[in-house]
Amino acid sequence: MLGKITLDHPQLFIQAFENSAIGMALIAASGELLKVNQALCCILGYEEHEMLKLKIFDITHPDDSENDLHIVHLLLDGKEHSYHSERRYIHKDGYEIWALMSVSLVRDEQQNPIFYISQIQDISNRRRTEEKLREGEDRYHRIVEESPDGVIILREERCLFINQTGVEMLRFKEKHDIVGRPIYDFVHPDDHHRLKQRDMHKDSIGPIEKRFIRMDGKVIDVELKTIPTIYQDKPAVHVIMRDISERKQTQDLIINSEKLTIAGQLAAGIAHEVRNPLTAIKGFFQMMEKDLKGNKMYFDVISSEINRIETILNELLVLARPQKVKYERKNIEVIINHVITLLKTQSNLNSIELIKSIEPNLPFIQCNENQLKQVFINFLKNSIEAMENGGRITIEIRRHLTEMIMIRIIDQGSGIPEHLLSKIGEPFFTTKEQGTGLGLMICKNIIEEHKGNLKIDSSSNGTKVEILLPLL
C-alpha cells in the first residue's frame, strides 16, 4: 500500500484512522460525530452507523460535560493546541468507561475551525486496578489508625508516620509532635546501642522488649516488632509497639507472690524447728533459776535473750501466717524518740549524728507501736550501715495534706543504684552482702497493713525514705 500511496496522500490518513488500535473520532464544532473508527465502536459497544447518529455529548458522562465546554473554549481561543484528560464515557449498555482522551482542533488555511479530532484510549482496567489499590490503602490506613497497638513508619531512623494509638501511648497531643523526629528521642538511652545493632531495613525483628520515655518523663516497657516495608514508594520500616508495662507489673506481682509464699514456708519451718528446742531450754532454765539463787544478773540476761529469740520467731511466723494485730492511738513523736534512743549508741560509734525535725502538736495515729518501731529501726539501721564515713541522718515528721502524716529519713550514705530501686521490698532482694532481703519486705508489708505508702528515692549523695501514714 505504501508503495502506491505517497506519505502526503489523503488515503494514508484514512488508513491510519481506520486501523488505529485506539478509538478515534472526527467531531463537528456542533458536537456531531462526523467519523469514528472501529476501535472506538468496540470501546463504546456501538455499530458505526449508530454512533454517527449521536453527538459527543450523548456518550460523555454528565459530570464531565461541563469540563468539555471549558476545553472547547481553550482550543477555540488558541490558548491550547491540544488537550489531554482522563474522563468517563457511557457505554451503550449504560455503564461507565474510563478513557484517556486527547483532542485537538483542526483549522483550514485561514485558521478557521473545521473539526475536532479526538483519540480515546480505554483505561477502565487500569482505573479499576488503581481503585482497588486505593481501597486497599484506605483499608490499610484504617486498620493501622484504629489498631490497639502503636504503629510508627520509619526511614533512616526518623518517624514518617504514627497512628493515634502511638501518640496516646507516648502521651503527646498531636502527631506532628512526633513525625520528623528520630525514634531514639523516645527510646531509653540505655537501650539505644542494642537497638542500633539490628538492621531493621533488612530483616524483621522481634518481638523484643525496650524501654520508651513518654512526654511526661515516665519510662514504660514496650514490646516491639519491626517489618521492612515500602512507604511512599521508598523502603521504610513498619514498627508495631505494644505497651506491656501493666503485663510486666502483673508478672512481677506473681513472682513476688511466689517469693512471699516461699518466704512464709521457710519462715514457718525455721520458727517451728527453733521453737521446739527453745521451749525445752526455757523450761529447764526456769527450773534452774528456782534451784540456784546466786548471780541473779546472769539469769536476767539469759531470760531476756530467750525472750528476744521468741520475739524474732514470732516475727518470722508473721510471714507464714499473718496474725491479727492490735491497733491503738499513739503519738508518733514518742515512738520515734524511743527508736532514736535505742540506736543512739550505734550511731555514735559510727560518727553519725541523728537530727530530728518534728512539727509540733501532731495528732495521734492509729497503729501498732511495736510494728512501727520495727519499721523505723530497720530503715535507720540501713542508713547507719550505708554511711561508712559518718555524717548526718535527718528524721522529719510533718502533717501531709489533711489526712496523712509524713515521716522522712534522709541519710548521706552511698545510695542505691537507680536500676535496683524498683526491686526494693521484693522478697530475698538485698544490696547487703550478708542481707536476707526480708527486712524491707516486712517493713513494706507493715506500712501497707497500716494503710500507708512507702517511697524510696536514692542517688550517690544519699537515700530518702518517705513513709505516709493515715491520721485518726
Q: Phi then psi for 455, rounded to 5 degrees?
A: -135, 130
What is the predicted pLDDT for the residue at 265? 64
pLDDT tops 80 at residue 249: no
User: 89: domain CATH number?
Assistant: 3.30.450.20
Q: What is the pLDDT of residue 247?
A: 83
Last residue of one domain, picked from the residues 89, 122, 155: 122
3-state SS, 34-50, equals: EEECHHHHHHHCCCHHH
* Residues forming a β-bridge with 4: none
pLDDT surpasses 90 at 92? yes
In this structure, the answer to whether residues 165 and 212 fall within a common structural domain is yes
pLDDT digits (tens, 9 = 90+) for 168-190: 999 999 999 999 999 999 999 98
Number of structural domains, the chain? 4
Examine the pLDDT at 166 and tell me if it is beyond 80.
yes
pLDDT at 314 over 80: no
Distance CA 141, CA 153 (A): 12
pLDDT at position 338, please? 85
Distance CA 409, CA 450 (A): 18
The answer to whether residue 134 is domain-embedded is no
Answer with the one of 260, 289, 320 that is the final residue of a domain: 320
Give the per-residue pLDDT at 273.
Answer: 65
C-alpha cell at 121: 484510549
Structural domain boundaries, residue 52: 10-122
What pLDDT does 194 receive? 82
The 3-state DSSP class for residue 441 equals helix
Q: Which pLDDT belongs to residue 2?
A: 43
SS3 461: coil
Type of residue numbered 392 = R
**And the C-alpha cell for 72?**
472547547
Domain end: 209, 243, 277, which one? 243
Whether residues 177 and 222 share a domain: the answer is: yes
3-state secondary structure string across 357-388: EECCCCCCEEECHHHHHHHHHHHHHHHHHHCC
**DSSP line for 412-434:** -S----HHHHTTTTSTT--SSTT
For residue 418, what is its C-alpha cell? Answer: 537507680
pLDDT at site 1: 43
297, containing H or E segment:
helix 296-320
